[in-house]
């Protein structure tokens, strides 16, 4: 059972890591706009690449 001498500190350290991550998130404003964050992931930032010359080109481009 002497293994718990190591296991308990390891468990606490892992928990502490999680806590540290949470504290960082809370102080750096990650929770300031929960609604916006939920929607931002859906924003499509890619611009269209320009119109392909014909339907064949579009097919070829997508096949490559």
Partner 1 sequence: MNALSHTNASECASSLPLSKSALPGTDIQAFVRKAGHASRLDLSVKGAKCGGCIAKIESAVNALPGVQGARLNLSTGHMRVDWTGALTGNEIATAVSELGYGVTASGTDSEGTSYQAEERSLLIAMGVAGFAAANIMLLSVSVWGGAGEMGAATRQAFHAISGMIALPVVVFSGRHFFLSAWRALKHGHVNMDVPVSLAIWLAMGVSIWETIQGGPHAYFDACIMLIFFLLIGRFLDARLRRRASGAAHDLAALKNRSVRRQNSTGAIESVRANEIIAGDMILLSPGEQAVIDMTIAEGAGEIDEQLVSGESLPRLVNAGTVVFAGSVNLGAALIGQAISPATDSLLADIATMMEAGEQRRSTYRKIADRAVALYVPFVHTTAALSFLGWIVAGASVREAILIAVSTLIITCPCALALAAPAAQMVASGKLFRSGVFLRSGDALERLAAIDHIVFDKTGTLTLGEPVCLVTENTRKALPIAAMLARASRHPLSRALVTAAGAGPLATGIREHAGLGLEANIDGHVCRLGSAEWVGAGGEVAGEGPVLWFSRGSEPPIAFTFEEQLRDDAKAAVRALETEGYSLEILSGDRPSAVARTAGALGIGVWSARVSPQDKAARLEALRDEGKRVLMVGDGLNDAGALALAHASLTPGGAMDISQSASDAVYAGGLGSIPAILRISKSARQIMLQNFGLAAAYNLIAVPIAVTGHVTPLIAAIAMSASSLIVTLNALRIRHGKSGSS
Structure tokens at 2: 């002497």
Which CB, 35 or 51, lies closer to partner 1? Answer: 35
13: three-class secondary structure by DSSP: helix
- For position 19 contacting partner 1 by CB under 8 A, the verdict is yes
Q: How far is the CB of 51 from partner 1 (least distance, A)?
A: 21
- For position 24 contacting partner 1 by CB under 8 A, the verdict is no
29: three-class secondary structure by DSSP: coil
- Side-chain half-sphere CA neighbours of 12 within 13 A: 6
Residues engaged in binding partner 1 (CB under 8 A): 1, 8, 11-12, 15-16, 18-19, 22-23, 26-27, 31-36, 39-44
């Amino acid at each position: 059972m002497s293994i718990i001498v190591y296991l308990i500190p390891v468990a606490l350290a892992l928990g502490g890591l999680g806590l540290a991550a949470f504290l960082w998130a809370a102080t750096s404003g990650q929770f300031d706009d929960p609604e916006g964050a939920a929607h931002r992931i859906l924003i499509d930032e890619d611009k269209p690449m320009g119109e392909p010359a014909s339907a064949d080109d579009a097919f070829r481009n997508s096949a490559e």
